[in-house]
Every structure is written in C-alpha cells, then in structure tokens.
A and B are shown apart, each in its own frame.
Chain A
C-alpha cells in the first residue's frame, strides 16, 4: 500500500521581485520515484527546498507526513580542505551510527573501499555515492536527491540511476529527484514533472510515451524523447551560446496547464 509522503499545492515563490515558482504542485508517495526535470533556472531546486522545509513559499500549501524521515542528498558538498574528515567520520555524523553501519551503507552504494579516505580526496562519482550512503543512514521514508548524477561520467550516471531504483525497491521509500535529462531517467522513474517556473506537464513516462495525449502533454520534445533535451526555453548554436526563440516559453503553448 503506498502512502502519501509529501504534497505541495499552489506553491508561489518570488526572490526579489522575480517569480521563481508559480502555482507549482507536487506529490510523492512511498515506493514512487518522482523526477523533476526542466531547464536551468526553472525552479527545480527551489521546489525541492520547499519540500525539505528549507524555504517557505510566499503562498501555497506544503504538507509533509508527520515526522517524515527525509534522507537528503545535496547538490554539492564542499568541506574546507582544512578539516581532516574521513568518509567514515562524515557518515558517523549521523547520530547512532557505528563503523559497521557506515560500512553497510557504503556497501549498499558500492563504495566500501573509500571508507578511510579523506572526504576531500575522493572522486566526484565516489562523493555522490557517499552522499547517497549518508542519506540511507537516516533510514529514510523519502529520499530527496538534487541532481544525484552531477559530475559523474556517462556510464556512472546510468549505474547510479539503477542503484537509486534498487534502493527504492529494497527500502520501499519514496524518491524525489532533480535531473536535467529525461532520457536517462525514463526507465527508472514513475512520474515526471516538467517544471519551468510552473508545472508544464507531468505524467508517467513509460505508460504515456505511446499515448497520443502524451504528445500534447510534452509538446514538441516527445517525438524524440529518447534523446530528450529541453526545448522549452532556448536552443544552442554551434558555439554553445543560448539562442532564445521569439516566443517566450512562459506561454508554453504546447503544455496543458493544471
């Protein structure tokens, strides 16, 4: 039986006059993987911060299950080089964790061998796994992962997504994650929420990918979903510079608005 873990409705957030989120909504149930996708500046991290309670929206309802245990994997972790901190010690900052517990969590994510390494000396991919292990140590009901594959090479990215799915199956926790690319998470996510300040569209990618309604839902990007990149806001020229289309994406003509 899946249980509702968090539900956000009509979320509005402004930073110094700029609208960051407008009527955004989100629901996560246990055992479900919800992926937030969208271009840079779409407000993905802001919405995640609202779920975590790190940010209070100007208006809207944020509901979390009472005493919801959240395992959070932040986008970046920068510990000053002056702090001598091993991976083990980092994991054991979670109260009540012994070395065996830390080792178990690392084994879950396939990173046992870095347990005695200094936290600042491990690779980007290893650090992501260590952060995931730390989130697991909280025995979370909800895992919140902000760009979990950032800085990880391509093969490693697919592996990490598989790992996240396996952990979801094993623990039955809900997963909310932020991602840039839909094509990588297509097989592993239950629900995709496409965000560009407002929720452009949302749905179950596997079920709806053959559904004609999906074309309408996702707009022009759906036909080549397998190599999905964000067509919402801009395109890039050969030099990588951003080219904005004449029509502002706020109109989001292709999207169905809730």
Chain B
C-alpha cells in the first residue's frame, strides 16, 4: 500500500473512532446545526492562521472555541432563536473566511481542499496531529462520559446533584471544536458534521444503551472510511465525499434492516 494511502486510512480511522461517541452527543443534544456552524467558521480560522502565520490547525481550534463562547453569550440574550443565530454565524463566518482568503494574493490556497477535504494529501505530520488530537478527545470523552450523559438527560437535575454543568457543557463544545479542526483535512469544512451525525444516527436503531450507540457509530464510521477510500482508490472519486457517501449508504441500510433484537417501542412516546 502506498504511503499516502496508508496515511489517509489511518487518519480516517482515527477520526471515525472519536466521531462515534462525540457524534452521539451531537445527535442526543440536537447540536447538529451547532457543529455545522463551527465547521463553517473553520475556514475563517484557516484564513486568520495564514494571515498571522500560525498553524491552521491551531487557528481553527482557537477560532471554533471563540465562536462557541460567543454563541453561548448570544444565546443568553434570548432575543433571537438559536437556529437564527447559528445561521447568521455559520454563513457570515464562512463568507468572511472566503473574502479574507481572496485578499491574500501571494498565498496559494487550495480552497476545494479546505471545503471538501484532501485526505489523500495527509502528510506524516498531519497524521500525527490527527491521531494526537483524536486520542486526546477520546480520552476526555471516556473520563467525562457519565457527567456528559447526566447533563444530556437533564441539566438541572445534574446541577442539583452537584455536577459543574456549565464547565461540562463548555468541555463538550471544546471537544467538538478540536474534532472539527482535526477533521477539516479529512472531509473538509462543509462535510464535517455529516461524519459526526450520520454514523451515530445509523447506529441508533440497533443500540440499546448509550455505549452501544457510541461504539456502533465508531465502527460504522470506520467502515465508511474504508468503503470511501476504496471507492476513491478504484474509481478516482474525491476521498472526503466518498466517505460521506459510504456513511449515508450504511445509514440507509440500517434504516431498512430489521432491528437486531426486539425491544419495546423505544422511539414512541
């Protein structure tokens, strides 16, 4: 296997492992649009990183974190609904990023690479960042697992029971920000959220506990990476979108397959 393909495979698998549990929280907490907003803003992070001469990965992480904090502050004003705020921030940061990039004529930027990912161009250095970032996020997710579940079920109950809810919620946002920075290279800013939510959604129907859903989502994500890369290798399709197509096919299969075990109607109330 050529080096670039091995790098791509390892990077994709590392991301898929961590996207499973994190994506499950995005689904449970209805944060899909939030994730989308953060990832759209990643391009602005890239532009600012190039402008200030710092690593784009670092700039994107910091940018996402700042945006997350700004969003929380705006939400507390309660003047506009969350989805309106998210829509404003998502598209204005994306546009601001594109405009900023266009000013830097002496810098050649592979815009398509940032928008849709450039997995086959992952270098060994990129790979180290991706594996390191994924390992960090996965470790924190394991440590924070129970508190995260508790605040997802009922925030006030968790607060009465003594959990530092605001801190945990912020931690989850930071984890999402880090994963977006990591995933940008793999599937691009426009497709990151799909890698978080599609495997988790596909795993939902056959899971009977939060843990089963998280692990199932990781496995499905890894399968999607393998399937997408194979398609890309044999048919010369773009790698990032191919992975997303793979995940979508698995979601479709999951929706059509009968459930593994019959459990009492869980989605009805």
| Chain B CB within 8 A of A84 CB | yes
Within 8 A of A (CB), among B198-233: 201, 204, 207-210, 212-213
Chain A: residues with CB nearer than 8 A to chain B?
52-54, 70, 72, 74, 77, 79-86, 89-90, 93-95, 117-118, 120-121, 134, 138, 144
Question: Do residues A84 and B212 form an inter-chain contact, with CB atoms below 8 A?
Answer: yes
Question: Do residues A74 and B156 form an inter-chain contact, with CB atoms below 8 A?
Answer: yes
Smallest Cβ distance from A104 to chain B, in angstroms? Answer: 19
Chain B: residues with CB nearer than 8 A to chain A?
27-30, 146, 149-150, 152-154, 156-157, 159-161, 201, 204, 207-210, 212-213, 263-269
B265: A residues at CB distance < 8 A: 118, 121
A80: B residues at CB distance < 8 A: 27-30
Question: Do residues A90 and B157 form an inter-chain contact, with CB atoms below 8 A?
Answer: no
Question: Do residues B154 and A77 form an inter-chain contact, with CB atoms below 8 A?
Answer: yes
A-B pairs with beta carbons under 8 A, tally: 78
A77: B residues at CB distance < 8 A: 153-154, 157
A120: B residues at CB distance < 8 A: 266-269
Question: Do residues A82 and B27 form an inter-chain contact, with CB atoms below 8 A?
Answer: yes
Interface residues of chain A: helix, strand, loop or mixed (majority)? loop
A134: B residues at CB distance < 8 A: 157
Given A82-B201, A120-B269: 18 more A-B contacts, CB < 8 Å: A52-B160, A72-B156, A72-B157, A74-B154, A77-B153, A79-B154, A80-B30, A81-B268, A83-B153, A83-B210, A84-B208, A84-B209, A84-B213, A85-B210, A93-B146, A118-B264, A121-B269, A134-B157
Smallest Cβ distance from A141 to chain B, in angstroms? Answer: 13
A141 to B212, CA, bound (A): 35
B159: A residues at CB distance < 8 A: 52-54
A149 to B28, CA, bound (A): 27
Known: A118-B264, A121-B265, A121-B268. A84 touches B30 (CB 8 A): no
